[in-house]
């Protein structure tokens, strides 16, 4: 871990990342890609030491309320968050100034901040997005080794729903020849139905590989799935988008189950929902996308 001071904390679309890098060890992580120009080891977490102060200064000056998003590049609930508490401090600022928030995480540690999430949701809107990729628990521990398993995340989704917090699941990536099976997809969808999630996001039942994360992914394939790397290379070469050979069938199952259970599955509709700020006290609703 190392600390830096940064000049700004919110992107043009009101997204923020209070950390850079990750310790979850997911074998497919796109954030390892060289295009993001991370100039330190991925597991050496960069902590934006002045993030909380910058966020407060920024929100104090904002004329219009909006949704604040986090977790797109680095999970805000990595183990170091337990010690530093920076995400909780950011949530306190967001709640104080009446903004909405949505975060993407794989960690059940989000439940630590349930009190704040409920306060934010009472005023505006709080949505927790949770990634679920691998129904089989043993396989999950290989694919996503240093974070809570899919079942544990499912239980967190149930708790969030029971406390009035809407949730959206990222059903991706789906790794060809690893978790691209009907059993896997139906298992995750069953969790989503039982947890009463608001929406599910999926991009064509596949995975993306770029320079940087491709090499790490192939290293892990050699380690856990001998011979599979060669199959990937023969089938996909250096392609960016690697769709499962089963994508058509799996997409039909996914969309059919979502429609049957009243779950949003159109990607644009999901993002519109995530980006739309709501004032529970009757003020104007603003969509910033």
Q: What is the pLDDT of residue 279?
A: 86
CATH architecture of 2-275: Alpha-Beta Barrel (3.20)
Peptide bond into 219 cis (omega under 30): no
**Helices 86-96 and 114-123: angle between axes, nearest 10 degrees:** 20
Q: What is the pLDDT of residue 287?
A: 46
Assigned token pair, 283: 């003020």
User: Which residues in the chain show pLDDT less than 50?
Assistant: 284-289
Domain limits, the chain: 2-275
Phi, psi of 46 (to 5 degrees): -90, 120
Q: What is the pLDDT of residue 280?
A: 78
Q: How far apart (Å, rounded) are the C-alpha atoms in residues 161 and 193?
A: 12
Q: What is the pLDDT of residue 39?
A: 87
For the whole model, what pTM was predicted? 0.94
């Amino acid at each position: 871990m190392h600390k830096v001071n940064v000049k700004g904390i919110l992107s043009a679309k009101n997204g923020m990342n209070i950390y850079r890098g990750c310790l979850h060890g997911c074998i497919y992580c796109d954030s390892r890609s060289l295009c993001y120009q991370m100039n330190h080891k991925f597991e050496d977490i960069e902590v934006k030491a002045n993030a909380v102060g910058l966020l407060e200064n920024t929100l104090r000056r904002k004329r219009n309320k909006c949704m604040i998003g986090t977790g797109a590049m680095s999970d805000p609930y990595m183990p170091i968050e337990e010690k530093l508490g920076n995400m909780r401090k950011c949530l306190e600022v967001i709640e104080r100034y009446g903004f909405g928030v949505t975060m993407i995480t794989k960690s059940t540690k989000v439940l630590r901040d349930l009190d704040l999430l409920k306060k934010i949701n009472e005023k505006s809107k709080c949505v927790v997005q949770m990634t679920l990729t691998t129904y089989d628990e043993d396989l999950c521990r290989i694919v996503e080794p240093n974070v809570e398993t899919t079942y544990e995340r499912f239980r967190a989704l149930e708790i969030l729903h029971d406390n009035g917090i809407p949730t959206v699941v990222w059903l991706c990536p789906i790794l060809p020849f690893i978790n691209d099976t009907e059993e896997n997809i139906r298992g995750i969808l069953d969790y989503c139905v039982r947890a009463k999630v608001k929406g599910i996001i999926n991009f064509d039942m596949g995975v993306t590989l770029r320079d940087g994360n491709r090499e790490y992914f192939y290293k892990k394939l050699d380690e856990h799935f001998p011979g599979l790397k060669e199959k990937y290379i023969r089938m996909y070469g250096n392609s960016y988008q690697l769709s499962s050979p089963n994508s058509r069938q799996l997409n039909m199952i996914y969309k059919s189950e979502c429609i049957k259970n009243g779950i949003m599955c159109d990607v644009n509709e999901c993002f519109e929902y995530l980006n739309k700020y709501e004032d529970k006290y009757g003020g104007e609703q603003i969509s910033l996308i």
